[in-house]
Structure 1
Amino acid sequence: MRIKITLFAGLLFCNIFFAQQKDTIASREKLSEVVVTGQLEPQSIKKSVFNVRVVTKENIKQLAANNLADVLNQYLNISVTSNGDDGRSKVSMFGLDAQYFKILVDNIPLVSDTGMGTNVDLTQVNLDDVERIEIIEGSMGVTHGANAVTGILNIITKKGGGYKWQIGATVQEETVGKEFGFFDKGRHIQSAKIAHNFNENWFVNIGGNRNEMAGYYDNRQGRDYDVNDGLRGYTQLPKEQLVGNAILGYQKDAFRIFYKFDYYGEDVHYYNPVINIQDNYPFADTYFSRDKRYITNRYYHHLNASGNIFSKLKYNVSVSQQKQERDLENFVYKLDTREEVDNKRKTYQSKEVFYSTGALSNFFDNKKVDFQLGYEITNENGFYDSSVGAFRDDNQVGQNIRKRLENYDIYSVAEIGVSDKFSIRPGLRFSFQTAFENQYASSLGLRYLFDKGLEARASLGKSYRTPNFDELYTYFVDSNHNMQGNPDLIPENSTSYEMSFKRACTFDSGAQISNNLAVTFLDVDDRIDLVVTQTIPSWNYKYLNINKYKMWNISTVEQYTYKNWNVMLGAAVVGISRRLDLAAENLVSDDKFFYSFRLNSSISYNIPKWNTLLAVFYKYNGRQQQYVAATGTDGKTGFFLNELQPFSWMDASIRKAFFKNKFEVTVGARNLFDVTNLQSAINGGSGDASGGAHGGGTSSDMMLGYGRSYFLKLSYNLNFN
């Protein structure tokens, strides 16, 4: 009953006020936010057939967010997990990992280790030059191609400004849990930017950012610890990130063109807990360790042009070239003298991508009918060195592997305004693949505007996910392991259904209430999983198209605004059915649905007299359950229930502006409930056959964060003409 009340409270509240106070409701309509993701052209959220959610620049400032992980930690249907081994953060939506969710920058997918836009490390996405973030849940395969199964996230960057000169600088100091020091502990961030409008047509923006995370010690003792008890090193690895970006643009009338360059560099340091002793008889023994660092360099070029052809036909074309290289540097660290020797560095992974997308629209001289014809070209040239694992290339084990993956897509979308209230949006994409059979995606979107501000949307989408590098080419075999990729894998296919209702009410008092209720169903066929093909004498694994995945989601987001108060409350019930097929034992798991409750909320209060804003963000993730394949206490292989315990996450901040908003101070805390590890337990199993944690009816931990942390951010902005 409580859940039902939560889901429909906003809509009913609006209905009550409409029924009792029709004369007091302002008839004026507030200007809607303009969105671009998945649209034929930039348009208001109200006109969009998709249910678009926007994270504004103000939201990002309230969180004092420096990277995408800081923001998405508070998003309702998104889970962020951190890997202590390399400090990377990944995202999952609706229980499906980052391979099904696409991250874009200005509509261009960002290159990652395994694909374009998928499996992106959220800590590597800097937010200094971001204007807003647009999120669409559900299948977006028609407009954004492969792997946009559960949704897309599009980061819209700043382009130009309202002043001739804009200069800004930021310094942020943050603890890592309870740990802080200006040089060897904590998180230290500095950034600077400058923007200049040469005239009404030309503009340039330049910026840079340094983000140093000195590592999370926890119970470890750091780099210079010289006792061989397994405590040397860090629970979460230290790393330094450097970001540089520049954009040059020109606009006149309907014509716009810009060139954007981004550089990202990262050093991640691994300090081996094993300490070696070198006998120097008759002199004292010396101590050393074999350490390494991972070095990443990413270069991003993007050229975009948009305008009109033949007066009315509109075009928008982007060309992007991206290159990412990962180097591994091995060295010996002498603990006595604290120096590195025998440094050896080589590139173990690189990917170079040419990408282009474009569209023509506004074919008809008719406001009720619009049509878009688009294309997408992706050319990935990837290289992996055998030092990161064993890979198979043309049946040669342990050899370096080079692969080129290409796809050439065409798609079309129409928007038909049957009436002022009813719109239909059909779409179709065909993809010519070089590594797999040709694929297609289709969609149908509907939007109806009822009286008194109620908006209804429904969509049906068919999409696909292509296998990643590890699933295709992994080959790791020794006396204890046999794990193989499968070059014969086929893309997964998915079907998504979504219905949403949205309503906004504005009253003479100035109060505003809005509610967004959404229901989603997702069905994934031919799902790729690591399957046990043999259990005796050892466990053999192979990637196969063998499983199924289904998901129900019912969610609501309510927004209340009155005077200086802004309150948001979101709730979701997510049900997941995951069928596993254990080929070696001829067993198929139960496909029952397991349900989880999620909640998020925020509240902010503005004190104009003090020029101060107070904000609190809260998120709750309920218990999650799923079946995993494991060996039972009786020695037989079967399926056992794995449980992930619930947790809560809260952030808070106070921001105050000085000197006519030129100087801002933000203080706050992240992870107020001090969450570090999340307990995961397999009930009754003793060996996992699905790639998860081992257990014998016992629990294991999954790292979520490094505990409660505090930050201080100082920002200076100077704007003048």
Structure 2
Amino acid sequence: MKRKITLFAAIIFAINISAQEKQKDTINGKEELSEVVVTGQFEPQSIKKSVFNVTVISRKDIEQQAANNLADLLNQYLNITITPSSGTGRSTVSMFGLNGEYFKILIDNIPVVSDTSLGNNVDLTQINLDDIEQIEIIEGSMGVTNGANAVTGVLNIITKKSSRYKWEIGATVQEETVGEEYTAFNKGRHIQSLKVSHSINDNWFISGGLDRNDLDGYLGGKKGEYYSETDLQRGYTWLPKLQYIGNGMISYKKNSFRAFYKFDYLNENIDYYNPIVNVVTNPPFDDIRYSSDKRFLTERIINHLNFYGKLASQYNYNVSFSQQKQTRSTDSFEYNIKSRQESEGIKQTNQSTELFYSTGTLGNFFPEKAFDFQLGYEYVNNLGYSLVNGENESFVPVEKRFENYDVFLSSEIKATKKFSIRPGGRISFQNQFDNQYAASVGLYYLFDKGIEMRTSLGRGFRTPNFDELYSKIKFSGHQFYGNDALIPETSMSYDFSIKKMTSFESGLLLSTKLSTSFLNVNDKIDMAYVGDEPGTTQPIYQYINISTYKMWNAAVTNQINFKNLSFNLGASLVGISQKIDNGKVVSDDQFLYALQINSSITYNLSKYNTLFAVNYKFNGEQQQFRAVKENGLDVYRLSTLESYSFLDASVRKTFNKKAFDVTIGARNILDVTNIQQSLASGAAHATSNNILLGYGRSYYLKLTYNLNL
């Protein structure tokens, strides 16, 4: 622990930068470039003037990493942990130790539908990045502006809605190894995409795109789908996955009015090849060897209609309507390994979420005054469906409708040119739970010499998801049930940051930001033992509001920009205290600490139109309490997850006046696959297990052709 704190303190005194690009501000008489941000703002504005701490990921950052989806991109950012699953193909995000149910993902300010909720626990591999302008991340409670489940923060994807060219046509081919495995057609990762946009005139713009992402699985010692021996080596360590993603948009703008309609479609197949091979003797012919395989199917459709403009030539309005549906199905069949034929296929829908969503704001009541406020609403009508375990090994469909009607008010008080206060509140009228509320206040002060200070206090809430309310799972003598009597969790968060930016005559730009935060979650939902099934010794576990969760975080982010060189270094120390009560025994609630460090360096060799980039992230040793049995009794013991690091590097070169891009690179250069989680289960002995994080070092080649007319 001393080593961690010493290292963290050393990094705090390191010098680094944050020079951002797009809109000009002045510091110490020097002009500096700064992003325009929209998330949580009354209207688009410079990141420097935002009350919130906003991290911006630019289109340039996405292209340099050759990132195809959010899972490819986010692994290198502080306080964010990506958790992949080789068995389901999903990758989800956690922030400050809390999973994706507490972190909200938006596209153009609209939360994205997922299997069990809206905007939460989204599979990051299903979010494509091709039509994206930039990504904005805000850490901390955003319950006032974004409603339920925005407890640890929000990520907002801003898509491209205009072009300075009459026509833009882009075609991309990307080939990538999966660990050491690659062939042109049936091993590795193969990505193709096509984007077309057209500026019809000064008012109308249309665009469309289609992506195919084929991950042929990772054998990792397994023998693939055509292996027919009975030694349990058939199949894949990482399941094959094929995605088709399409999108289309039409936008219109004239004077202060603009509108757009956007359509997104996802179709995903994940193939599961059962390692158990069944043998049927068939004399005098060869044995028939078959397996009971499955195909997991996901389909998602998102429609989004947005209007923005002015009422009575003064009041700004911004209204969105969205209809979304996501369905997960399973196609089960018998597979004849020798003839490679499927039979006895049974397809059933396991989960679906269908919803109508609308949100809107009205502001600019006091233009060019020191005080203004914004009125807003949110409406959600969510129909959830799931198959749950019933009697006699049957499945029973459960269908429930969730509705909430929210109204919120956010105001901005510009006490001086350098000092702003932003209080706000939200009331959420729920049909399934008691009414909830969120409140926040943020302060921003600009000192002399480029020093910015921000602080905020926020109350938020998280509503239980469909699984927590209605799931029923039975296997191996255990039963796990949802609980429709659950109540929403509530949270309080505190954030403070100070940032210093300095520019020099030489062109050197320096920036250092120190930040700290605290989060307290009450009535946290966890699975707990509630008794045995009557007449048996089979334990029953159920979701209940039983735990508490506290987190504090201290971080430093530093950047240096000098001419064609950009260098970044950051560190974050997180302490988590969680009291877990599983109905039999209660864990200790001591604080457990984890350190993260990230760094990146880019160099633009402008003479040769070549950009070099290296990204590194260190995830320090983590501890958590785990329930184990000792001498027949349930106890909590500390488990330790060993530290690991990710290192990526790439080179991007443009040809023919930037019409042709070539990017070559390597991901996971340190070849991380499994990490050890050791579990101390008493003084006499200890146990450990492997956690699969990835398929090791991979290499990629990305070719893009851009035709701009």
Deviation at 1:479, TM superposition (A): 6.4
> SS in structure 2 opposite 1:29?
strand
**Counterpart in the other structure of 1:704:** 693
Q: Which moved more, 1:430-439 or 1:466-475?
A: 466-475
Amino acid in structure 2 at the alignment position of 1:556? V
Deviations 1:130-164 (A, max 9, x none): 11100000000010011000000000000111111
CA contact (8 A) 1:528 1:544 kept: yes
Q: Does 1:570 align with 2:559?
A: no
Amino acid in structure 1 at the alignment position of 2:331? E
CA contact (8 A) 1:391 1:474 kept: no
- Partner residue of 2:490 out of 476, 493, 508: 493
Over 3 Å counting, the alpha-carbon distance change for 1:84 and 1:374 in structure 2 is same
Alignment of 1:173-184 (within 5 A): 173-184=175-186
Deviation at 1:589, TM superposition (A): 2.0
Over 3 Å counting, the alpha-carbon distance change for 1:697 and 1:206 in structure 2 is same
**Counterpart in the other structure of 2:332:** 330
Deviations 1:293-351 (A, max 9, x none): 01111111000010100111000000000011222111111112111122222322221
- Partner residue of 1:300 out of 299, 302, 323: 302
* Counterpart-to-counterpart distance in 2, 1:271 and 1:3: 46
Over 3 Å counting, the alpha-carbon distance change for 1:499 and 1:129 in structure 2 is same
* Counterpart-to-counterpart distance in 1, 2:107 and 2:114: 13
CA contact (8 A) 1:391 1:400 kept: no
Alignment of 1:418-429 (within 5 A): 418-429=415-426
* Counterpart-to-counterpart distance in 1, 2:231 and 2:337: 15
> SS in structure 2 opposite 1:588?
coil
**Counterpart in the other structure of 2:670:** 673
CA contact (8 A) 1:243 1:262 kept: yes
CA contact (8 A) 2:618 2:646 kept: yes
Amino acid in structure 2 at the alignment position of 1:191? S
Q: Does 1:443 align with 2:440?
A: yes
**Counterpart in the other structure of 1:79:** 81
**Counterpart in the other structure of 1:532:** 529
* Counterpart-to-counterpart distance in 2, 1:53 and 1:603: 17
* Counterpart-to-counterpart distance in 1, 2:476 and 2:250: 57
Deviation at 1:696, TM superposition (A): 7.6
**Counterpart in the other structure of 2:92:** 90
Deviations 1:627-655 (A, max 9, x none): 122212x2222111011110000100000
Would you identify which runs of 4 or more consecutive aligned residues in structure 1 move more than 3 Å? 8-11, 534-539
Alignment of 1:229-240 (within 5 A): 229-240=231-242
Q: Which moved more, 1:430-439 or 1:358-367?
A: 358-367
- Partner residue of 1:314 out of 310, 313, 316: 316
Over 3 Å counting, the alpha-carbon distance change for 1:450 and 1:479 in structure 2 is closer
Amino acid in structure 1 at the alignment position of 2:134? R
Amino acid in structure 2 at the alignment position of 1:474? S
**Counterpart in the other structure of 2:155:** 153
CA contact (8 A) 1:81 1:703 kept: no
* Counterpart-to-counterpart distance in 1, 2:527 and 2:328: 26
CA contact (8 A) 2:115 2:328 kept: no
**Counterpart in the other structure of 1:3:** 8
**Counterpart in the other structure of 1:99:** 101
- Partner residue of 1:595 out of 588, 593, 596: 593
* Counterpart-to-counterpart distance in 2, 1:491 and 1:508: 54
Q: Does 1:713 align with 2:675?
A: no
Deviations 1:440-465 (A, max 9, x none): 00001000110011000000000011
CA contact (8 A) 2:92 2:100 kept: yes
Deviations 1:551-601 (A, max 9, x none): 0110111110001110000101110101112423xx432211111111001
* Counterpart-to-counterpart distance in 2, 1:537 and 1:259: 57
* Counterpart-to-counterpart distance in 2, 1:419 and 1:29: 22
Deviation at 1:232, TM superposition (A): 0.3
Alignment of 1:525-674 (within 5 A): 525-534=522-531, 537-584=537-584, 587-632=585-630, 634-674=631-671
* Counterpart-to-counterpart distance in 2, 1:130 and 1:702: 33
CA contact (8 A) 1:26 1:507 kept: no
Q: Does 1:465 align with 2:462?
A: yes
CA contact (8 A) 1:391 1:473 kept: no
Amino acid in structure 2 at the alignment position of 1:423? S
Deviations 1:160-217 (A, max 9, x none): 1111111110000000000001111000000011111011111001111000000010
CA contact (8 A) 1:436 1:491 kept: yes
> SS in structure 2 opposite 1:30?
strand
* Counterpart-to-counterpart distance in 1, 2:560 and 2:8: 19
Over 3 Å counting, the alpha-carbon distance change for 1:33 and 1:391 in structure 2 is farther
TM-score scaled by length of structure 2: 0.95
* Counterpart-to-counterpart distance in 2, 1:157 and 1:365: 28
> SS in structure 1 opposite 2:339?
coil
Amino acid in structure 2 at the alignment position of 1:719? N
* Counterpart-to-counterpart distance in 2, 1:300 and 1:578: 37
CA contact (8 A) 2:115 2:327 kept: no
Q: What is the identity percentage for the equivalent residue pairs of Structure 1 and Structure 2? A: 54
> SS in structure 2 opposite 1:4?
helix
Deviation at 1:397, TM superposition (A): 8.3
CA contact (8 A) 2:550 2:577 kept: yes
* Counterpart-to-counterpart distance in 1, 2:473 and 2:385: 18
Alignment of 1:469-480 (within 5 A): 469-477=466-474, 480=477
* Counterpart-to-counterpart distance in 2, 1:71 and 1:707: 17
Alignment of 1:172-321 (within 5 A): 172-321=174-323
* Counterpart-to-counterpart distance in 2, 1:114 and 1:209: 25
Deviations 1:251-296 (A, max 9, x none): 1111010000011110110000000112223432211111110111
Amino acid in structure 2 at the alignment position of 1:355? Y
Greater RCO between the two (CA within 8 Å, min separation 6)? 2
* Counterpart-to-counterpart distance in 1, 2:698 and 2:285: 46
* Counterpart-to-counterpart distance in 1, 2:350 and 2:562: 55
* Counterpart-to-counterpart distance in 2, 1:160 and 1:100: 33
**Counterpart in the other structure of 2:396:** 399
CA contact (8 A) 1:147 1:464 kept: yes
* Counterpart-to-counterpart distance in 2, 1:511 and 1:233: 54
**Counterpart in the other structure of 2:139:** 137
* Counterpart-to-counterpart distance in 2, 1:497 and 1:348: 40
- Partner residue of 2:42 out of 18, 22, 40: 40
Alignment of 1:350-429 (within 5 A): 350-386=352-388, 390=389, 398-429=395-426
* Counterpart-to-counterpart distance in 1, 2:28 and 2:675: 48
Amino acid in structure 2 at the alignment position of 1:561? N
**Counterpart in the other structure of 2:3:** none
CA contact (8 A) 2:384 2:466 kept: no
Over 3 Å counting, the alpha-carbon distance change for 1:304 and 1:391 in structure 2 is farther
Q: Which moved more, 1:634-643 or 1:561-570?
A: 634-643
Amino acid in structure 2 at the alignment position of 1:669? A
Unaligned runs of 5+ in 2: 1-5, 19-26
Amino acid in structure 1 at the alignment position of 2:415? V
* Counterpart-to-counterpart distance in 2, 1:379 and 1:398: 26
Q: Which moved more, 1:539-548 or 1:186-195?
A: 539-548
TM-score scaled by length of structure 1: 0.94
> SS in structure 1 opposite 2:94?
strand
